[in-house]
């Protein structure tokens, strides 16, 4: 934890998390007001000939002008590219539009991209950065909780295809990640809650301390208290940074642990339509399903499952499929086409205690998966 230079705002503490990679390491900085310092960070991280802000129509009026001013202050030329908000922008068409707007505005091999927005913008801008001119640097400036604790870190980029989410993408590590928790004040409540699902995930898989913190401080968190949020984001980023550092390209199995809740989650999201179930909401349901599978396999205790389900409920995350009319067959088919699937067999990350989960070495029987997905139909108290 370090103090910012100017000390102009009341809350000027900057928390730093380092992501250590074989080839190149980078810093995640977390602090109120950091959005006004993006220019300095971009200049220090990659000193680009031009910085291209990629953002969406929702985020642009809120923060793009501040980022642009900070780029001006750092003496950097810049251009802003605006995409449509929402998962539909994780498409080949949106990607091609970003490529061509970059190229039409003088993007060269010394240019850099500033991804300003949520997970969609980060994934799309990251993929564009990794492929335009065979790769230019990207600085992630996430403005949703989901992006701040998860998607902006770790270098996964992606777009969706008709067969499922994130089926096309790259590994492309950011040069820096700049997180301003104050940006969450403009986030719709539902999206804040959805982001908390990834926080709970980080706690369950690797940090009982984080899980405890969210349990103890759920109310201030839901009321967007910036001090508590900064601590929650820092602990979440530490989990992610550690896992990513040990398995950058998702090959050793260590990184797969981040997929806790995502196997069923992705299938539910795709089956429901990406707009009806937010990613975090789907992950919350996926964690409940994975926990129930772990219970059935005798890997973890009913008390732990109960504790996790109760916390998700307090955070206002879905406990069951509610009004969503999903066909089990469709969900199972989508599971089988998940990119973690190998030769049609479905592997799960399963929890063993609050603070520890691991990729289960054997594929899980699809009949058991189907049974557990079925329990999500039952309305909880």
Tell me if 163 contacts a second copy by CB under 8 A. Answer: yes
List Cβ neighbours of 213 (8 Å cut-off, separation of 6 or more).
Answer: 203, 228, 231, 232, 235
The structure tokens 């499952």 sit at 305
Cβ(261)–Cβ(287) below 8 Å: yes
Contact set for a second copy, span 13-52 (CB under 8 A): 49
Cβ(270)–Cβ(167) below 8 Å: no
Per CB under 8 A, the list member of 40, 301, 307, 340 interacting with a second copy is: 340
Tell me if 132 contacts a second copy by CB under 8 A. Answer: yes
Binding segment for a second copy among 100-108, 192-200, 201-209, 320-328 (CB under 8 A)? 100-108
3-state secondary structure (DSSP) of residue 108: coil
Output the six-digit token pair for 248. 């950058």
List Cβ neighbours of 100 (8 Å cut-off, separation of 6 or more).
Answer: none
Per CB under 8 A, the list member of 31, 39, 142, 169 interacting with a second copy is: 169
Tell me if 103 contacts a second copy by CB under 8 A. Answer: yes
Per CB under 8 A, the list member of 4, 131, 186, 319 interacting with a second copy is: 131
Tell me if 167 contacts a second copy by CB under 8 A. Answer: yes
Q: Is 22 exposed, middle or buried (0-12, 13-18, 19+ CB in 10 A)?
A: exposed
Tell me if 171 contacts a second copy by CB under 8 A. Answer: yes
Q: How many CB atoms lie within 10 A of CB 321?
A: 21
Tell me if 99 contacts a second copy by CB under 8 A. Answer: yes
Tell me if 170 contacts a second copy by CB under 8 A. Answer: yes
Tell me if 108 contacts a second copy by CB under 8 A. Answer: yes
- Which of 133/330 has CB closer to a second copy? 133
Per CB under 8 A, the list member of 6, 65, 72, 100 interacting with a second copy is: 100
Tell me if 110 contacts a second copy by CB under 8 A. Answer: yes
Relative orientation angle of helices 208-216 and 189-206, to the nearest 10 degrees: 140
Q: How many residues bind a second copy (CB under 8 A)?
A: 39
Furthest-apart CA atoms within the chain: distance in Å: 60
Contact set for a second copy, span 141-160 (CB under 8 A): 156, 158
Tell me if 274 contacts a second copy by CB under 8 A. Answer: no
**Residue among 267, 246, 242 at smallest CA distance from 328:** 267
Query: Using CB under 8 A as the criterion, which residues of the chain lie in contact with a second copy when the complex forms?
Result: 49, 92, 95-96, 99-100, 103-104, 106, 108-110, 127, 130-135, 156, 158, 161-164, 167-171, 249-250, 337, 339-344
């Amino acid at each position: 934890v370090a103090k910012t230079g100017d000390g102009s705002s009341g809350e000027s503490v900057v928390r730093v998390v380092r992501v250590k990679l074989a080839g190149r390491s980078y810093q995640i900085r977390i602090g109120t007001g950091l959005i006004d310092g993006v220019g300095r960070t971009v200049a220090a991280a990659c000193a680009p000939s031009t910085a291209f802000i990629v953002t969406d129509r929702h985020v642009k009026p809120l923060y793009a002008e501040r980022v642009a001013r900070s780029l001006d202050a750092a003496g950097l030329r810049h251009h802003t590219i605006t995409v449509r908000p929402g998962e539909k922008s994780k498409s080949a068409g949106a990607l091609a539009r970003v490529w061509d707007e970059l190229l039409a505005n003088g993007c060269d091999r010394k240019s850099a991209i500033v991804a300003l927005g949520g997970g969609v913008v980060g994934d799309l801008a990251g993929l564009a950065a990794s492929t335009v001119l065979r790769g230019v640097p990207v600085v992630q400036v996430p403005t949703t909780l989901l992006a701040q604790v998860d998607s902006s870190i770790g270098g996964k980029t992606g777009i969706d295809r008709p067969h499922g989410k994130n089926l096309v993408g790259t590994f492309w590590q950011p040069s820096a990640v700049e997180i301003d928790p104050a940006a969450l004040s403009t986030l719709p409540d539902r999206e804040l809650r959805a982001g908390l699902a990834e926080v709970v995930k980080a706690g369950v898989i690797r940090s009982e301390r984080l899980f405890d913190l969210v349990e103890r401080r759920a109310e201030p968190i839901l009321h967007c208290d910036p001090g508590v949020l900064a601590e929650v984001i820092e602990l979440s980023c530490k989990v992610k940074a550690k896992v990513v550092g040990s398995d950058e390209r998702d090959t050793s199995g260590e990184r797969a642990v981040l997929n806790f809740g995502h196997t069923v989650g992705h299938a539910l999201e795709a089956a429901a339509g990406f707009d009806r179930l937010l990613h975090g909401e789907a992950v919350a349901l996926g964690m409940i399903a994975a926990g129930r599978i772990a219970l059935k396999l005798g890997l973890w205790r009913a008390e732990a499952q109960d504790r996790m389900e109760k916390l998700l409920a307090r955070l206002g995350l879905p406990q069951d499929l509610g009004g969503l009319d999903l066909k089990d067959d469709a969900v199972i088919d989508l599971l089988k086409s998940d990119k973690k699937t190998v030769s049609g067999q479905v592997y799960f990350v399963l929890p063993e205690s609050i603070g520890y989960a691991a990729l289960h070495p054997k594929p899980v029987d699809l009949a058991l998966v189907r049974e557990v997905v079925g329990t999500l139909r039952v309305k909880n108290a």
